[in-house]
Amino acid sequence: MNVLELFKLEGKVAIITGGGQGLGKQIATALAEAGCNIVLCSRKIETCADTAYRLMNYDVKAKAYKCDITKEEEIQSLIDNVIKEFGKIDILVNNSGTNWAAPVEEMPLVGWEKVIKVNLTGTFLTAKIIGKKMIEQGFGKIINISSCAGLRVDPPEILDAVGYSTSKAAVVHLTKDLAMKWGKHGINVNALAPGYFPTKMTMAFLEEKGEMVMERSPLKRIGDDNSLKGAAIFLASDASDFVTGQVLAVDGGFSL
Residue 127 lies in a domain: yes
> Does the pLDDT value for residue 208 go beyond 80?
no
Greater pLDDT, 237 or 196: 237
* Choice among 53, 58, 65, 164 that is catalytic: 164
Residue 255 lies in a domain: no
> Does the pLDDT value for residue 70 go beyond 80?
yes
Residue 192 CA to residue 248 CA, distance in Å, equals 5
DSSP annotation of 91 = E
The answer for residues whose C-beta is within 8 angstroms of residue 191's C-beta and 6 or more apart is: 143, 144, 145, 146, 171, 172, 175, 246, 247, 248
pTM: 0.95
Residue 164 is a catalytic residue: yes
Region 95-108: mean pLDDT is: 94
How many structural domains compose the chain? 1
Residue 90 lies in a domain: yes
Q: Could you tell me the strand order of the sheet in which 140-145 lies?
A: 62-66, 37-42, 13-17, 91-94, 140-145, 187-194, 247-250
Positive or negative: CA dihedral 180, 115, 235, 86: positive
Positive or negative: CA dihedral 195, 199, 201, 203: positive
> Does the pLDDT value for residue 216 go beyond 90?
no
Q: Taking the CA atoms of the chain, what radius of gyration do you get in angstroms?
A: 17
Residue 97 lies in a domain: yes
Residue 55 lies in a domain: yes
Provide the CATH number for the domain around residue 232. 3.40.50.720
Greater pLDDT, 252 or 209: 252
pLDDT value of position 209: 81
Residue 38 CA to residue 179 CA, distance in Å, equals 23
Residue 136 lies in a domain: yes
Residue 222 domain boundaries:
3-250
Residue 83 lies in a domain: yes
Residue 256 lies in a domain: no
pLDDT value of position 203: 76
